[in-house]
Chains A and B, each alone.
Chain A
């Protein structure tokens, strides 16, 4: 039975246990390291972005018409001799399947892998009704015998070691199994399960596709068990979510192009099986299989009408969102989902398995966008996760203290900035240079993994007029969006921007009414507060008055570009949000593409420099080459490090909520940088600087951590 904690305290205990599981850590790390290359290889010659967009478009066209597709499918499938059932709920689906078994005098059932059957806990229901149910996918068979749920949608037993499997198989066969002979263990499964196939009266499968045009279902498998499940027993039941309906063969083939490539880096899975109707089955009466297709609604048809969440139904169940998730990699699927795993699991759990199961896990997201960047259906997973979090807070009506504080302060710029200024004075007794000597009492032991910076004595906004040079006849008029960290913690980064652009014909302005970009509010599920500060910023910075809106903060930049999501329905504000989106620019792009700086403007012979790619720059804004290019132009030797685009673990308030995970991600990041032998590490987000600098300081500060604007300013001639 799957248990997912409903409270954060218990959940964190589970996370801690997972973090100390060295086998899990090593195996998931090995997988995460191998996956990107094999995925890229599988997609070579295919424009993934275009394919994902095409799948999204086609799915969005089908989703409002699922009922129509279901009707069409039913007519076709019934013509071919299948019986089509419709289950409104999980319980109804299980009951329908149990009665099919009863009507057909079934005793033994073999099952192919089906996430939908996991969703309805079908096995439990059938076993309680007295049937023998055997999972036949190797991974599913293993976890069934262990009484566990899957820890990955495609590789359900990835959390287990060969030793654990050998122990299990020794028990099953009564013969000692050699854990290092995986081939032999697979042969055990082959012979044990072959017997089960031959004895079974009923086979249950899922389906990756249900094609309305011809009433066929499609199954994507590697082991070949799906073929035996649908061939040997005299009864076949396919349990299919209504979201698997596609209009035609073409749509199915399109998804098939993406599914195995994205799931396991295979061009195609070994077997793809298309079944239409009551196929020949010589052990059945009249040599015709008793074929049943049970469609599961379980909230899907209502979800299809939801303006925000309907896109969750685009999911093709490839599991790629887990494959690239830095948190999944640390804690595994049993701690990163309920039945459905990974980013999509955090979203679907709320809909299919309820608030209690979703409320703790849904907080465990860095918003690093790794999932979104590989989603084969272009689902905005990070956004949906925050929407679910917000919805749960709303429904429960009881908010964490920090949410209440945030709501009260962030919505009022004067109050917010007053508090930050006061903080700068109040911290004096505990400040030590640019860091806090010890952490305020609200922090616990677990937050000691990095040193927190002290607030600046004078925020950027208070000295802006003094330091901003007057540019005669500027070529560009640029609004500088500071963001809280540059403004109140690292004003020197703002100074660096001005130094780096000195005499290059740029007139910067710092609109004083600007405030926090609002991303922290959205991260905490406070959509209304996020909307309010978005409006405040759009009032403060009218994009029509500037050529560009530059920010040194990747997170602010990416969030400013997403104001369109928050304000699209509002007259005028929606237009301004769209204009803002087009004008927001990061430092590296501004220097290389707009100012077109060249090496003659910089000192030569700079040292080796590693680069950390902020999530909200490389994935959030698609800026990848420019920072590296900029380093080269500025006379620095860029040294590539491992996992450059993997999150540093900051994630804003995430690092306060889940310090253990944040610490582990930071450790890995800094280990990779240390291994590169560079003297400096630069990045282009003050949030990442906070995390990396604080972590490096804790290790003795051997490598200097800087914002890229600082190092570039230093190199200016």
Chain B
């Protein structure tokens, strides 16, 4: 019940910050979505540094089939070539439609910063009503040495020229959040 309410609120608040929110049944569906979106937008690559093992193999096959270049690391060297950044999110905060992404890894950071479109997937069970609910977890994430914790709420924006809202100034021009209904853990 609480989970449903939080999910609905998360979606509503995220959408109000121009985030595209979609439900996905599993990771395979997320990969499919990211690949299709990349092609639709005329993109050529997906950076997915956080995907490992079996899932990576699956994504790699999919990208090959769709003729999309898959970037898995050293993104600093590929700064100009990232069309889509694909990352997970650790938490969703419903009150503000915010993703919390543990970004200790430089490549995770760059995947979400240098891309044109950021696709993030988030387990429904990880959506909480507000930041206060996960205060302890946030403290822990920050307390780890070398922590980089990102709150992301929508696409990069500016209103610095005549207060006209313009999307995509330094970071991604679009943010898509895919909510994974089933929590297999």
Q: Which residues of A does B touch, CB under 8 Å?
A: 27, 30-31, 79-81, 136-139, 142, 155-158, 160-162, 165, 182-183, 185-186, 189-190, 193-194, 198, 211, 213-214, 216, 222-225, 227-228, 230-232, 248-250, 253, 256, 264, 266-283, 288
CB-based contact A193/B170 at 8 Å: yes
- A residues in contact with B144, CB < 8 Å: 276
Within 8 A of A (CB), among B103-119: 104-106, 109-110, 113
Enumerate the 10 nearest inter-chain pairs by beta-carbon distance, A residue then B residue, closest first.
Answer: A224-B171, A139-B160, A276-B147, A272-B151, A224-B156, A268-B96, A224-B170, A274-B149, A138-B160, A80-B145
CB-based contact B113/A224 at 8 Å: yes
- A residues in contact with B159, CB < 8 Å: 155, 222, 264
Give chain B nearest CB distance to A571 CB in angstroms. Answer: 44
Kindly specify which of B28-36, B37-45, B61-69, B135-143 makes contact with the partner chain.
B135-143
Given A231-B110, A281-B106, does the pair A222, B142 have CB atoms closer than 8 Å? no
Given A186-B161, A231-B109, A267-B97, does the pair A279, B146 have CB atoms closer than 8 Å? yes
Known: A216-B147, A224-B170, A279-B146. 17 other contacts (CB 8 A): A137-B160, A142-B161, A165-B161, A182-B162, A190-B168, A190-B169, A194-B170, A216-B149, A222-B157, A222-B159, A225-B170, A230-B148, A253-B135, A271-B156, A276-B147, A280-B146, A282-B106
* B51 located at the interface, meaning its Cβ lies under 8 Å from any Cβ of chain A in the complex: no
* B17 located at the interface, meaning its Cβ lies under 8 Å from any Cβ of chain A in the complex: yes
* B74 located at the interface, meaning its Cβ lies under 8 Å from any Cβ of chain A in the complex: yes
Q: What's the Cα separation between A303 and B105 when bound, in Å? A: 40
- B residues in contact with A222, CB < 8 Å: 156-159
CB-based contact A249/B139 at 8 Å: yes
Q: A231 — nearest CB in chain B belongs to which residue?
A: B109
CB-based contact A142/B104 at 8 Å: no
* B13 located at the interface, meaning its Cβ lies under 8 Å from any Cβ of chain A in the complex: yes
Determine chain A's interface SS by DSSP, over half rule.
mixed
* B150 located at the interface, meaning its Cβ lies under 8 Å from any Cβ of chain A in the complex: yes
CB-based contact A158/B170 at 8 Å: no
CB-based contact B169/A189 at 8 Å: yes
Give chain B nearest CB distance to A181 CB in angstroms. Answer: 10
Within 8 A of A (CB), among B78-125: 79, 95-98, 104-106, 109-110, 113
Give chain B nearest CB distance to A355 CB in angstroms. Answer: 32
Q: What's the Cα separation between A283 and B142 when bound, in Å? A: 23
Q: What's the Cα separation between A161 and B164 when bound, in Å? A: 11
Give chain A nearest CB distance to B104 CB in angstroms. Answer: 6
Q: B166 — nearest CB in chain A belongs to which residue?
A: A186
Given A186-B169, A253-B132, does the pair A214, B139 have CB atoms closer than 8 Å? yes
CB-based contact B148/A274 at 8 Å: yes
Please name 13 pairs of A and B residues whose Cβ atoms are closer than 8 Å in the assembled complex, sorted by A.
Answer: A138-B158, A157-B160, A182-B166, A190-B169, A216-B142, A216-B147, A223-B170, A225-B169, A267-B16, A267-B153, A274-B141, A276-B146, A282-B76
**CB < 8 Å neighbour of A213 from B97, B106, B139, B166:** B139
* B155 located at the interface, meaning its Cβ lies under 8 Å from any Cβ of chain A in the complex: yes
- A residues in contact with B146, CB < 8 Å: 80-81, 276-280, 288
Q: What's the Cα separation between A160 and B109 when bound, in Å? A: 33
Q: What's the Cα separation between A80 and B131 when bound, in Å? A: 24
- A residues in contact with B161, CB < 8 Å: 138, 142, 157, 160, 162, 165, 182, 185-186
CB-based contact B13/A267 at 8 Å: yes
CB-based contact B160/A156 at 8 Å: yes
Q: What's the Cα separation between A186 and B160 when bound, in Å? A: 9
- A residues in contact with B141, CB < 8 Å: 274
Given A185-B161, A186-B161, A186-B169, does the pair A267, B147 have CB atoms closer than 8 Å? no
Most buried by B among A30, A230, A271, A273: A271
Determine chain B's interface SS by DSSP, over half rule.
mixed
- A residues in contact with B142, CB < 8 Å: 211, 214, 216, 249, 274, 276
**CB < 8 Å neighbour of A274 from B96, B147, B157, B163:** B147
Q: B19 — nearest CB in chain A belongs to which residue?
A: A270
Q: What's the Cα separation between A183 and B173 when bound, in Å? A: 12
Q: What's the Cα separation between A142 and B162 when bound, in Å? A: 12
Give chain A nearest CB distance to B115 CB in angstroms. Answer: 11
* B71 located at the interface, meaning its Cβ lies under 8 Å from any Cβ of chain A in the complex: no
Q: B113 — nearest CB in chain A belongs to which residue?
A: A227
**CB < 8 Å neighbour of A270 from B131, B132, B155, B162:** B155
Q: B153 — nearest CB in chain A belongs to which residue?
A: A268
CB-based contact B135/A250 at 8 Å: yes
CB-based contact A249/B135 at 8 Å: yes
Q: What's the Cα separation between A137 and B161 when bound, in Å? A: 12
Q: B138 — nearest CB in chain A belongs to which residue?
A: A249
Given A253-B135, A256-B131, does the pair A275, B158 have CB atoms closer than 8 Å? no
- A residues in contact with B170, CB < 8 Å: 136, 190, 193-194, 223-225, 227-228
- B residues in contact with A277, CB < 8 Å: 145-147
Given A182-B166, A253-B135, A270-B155, does the pair A227, B150 have CB atoms closer than 8 Å? yes
Given A223-B158, A253-B132, does the pair A270, B145 have CB atoms closer than 8 Å? no
- B residues in contact with A158, CB < 8 Å: 163
- A residues in contact with B169, CB < 8 Å: 138, 186, 189-190, 223-225
**CB < 8 Å neighbour of A267 from B76, B79, B95:** B95
CB-based contact B150/A271 at 8 Å: yes
CB-based contact A275/B109 at 8 Å: no
Give chain A nearest CB distance to B93 CB in angstroms. Answer: 8
Most buried by A among B17, B155, B163: B163
Q: What's the Cα separation between A281 and B104 when bound, in Å? A: 10
Given A250-B135, A267-B97, A268-B96, does the pair A214, B143 have CB atoms closer than 8 Å? yes
* B27 located at the interface, meaning its Cβ lies under 8 Å from any Cβ of chain A in the complex: no
CB-based contact A275/B148 at 8 Å: yes
CB-based contact A79/B162 at 8 Å: no
Q: A249 — nearest CB in chain B belongs to which residue?
A: B139
Q: What's the Cα separation between A441 and B161 when bound, in Å? A: 46
**CB < 8 Å neighbour of B163 from A155, A198, A256:** A155
Q: What's the Cα separation between A283 and B132 when bound, in Å? A: 36
**CB < 8 Å neighbour of B148 from A270, A279, A283:** A279
Give chain B nearest CB distance to A216 CB in angstroms. Answer: 4
Give chain B nearest CB distance to A275 CB in angstroms. Answer: 6
CB-based contact A253/B150 at 8 Å: no
**CB < 8 Å neighbour of A279 from B132, B139, B147, B151:** B147
CB-based contact B109/A227 at 8 Å: yes
- B residues in contact with A273, CB < 8 Å: 148-151
Q: What's the Cα separation between A225 and B171 when bound, in Å? A: 7
* B152 located at the interface, meaning its Cβ lies under 8 Å from any Cβ of chain A in the complex: yes
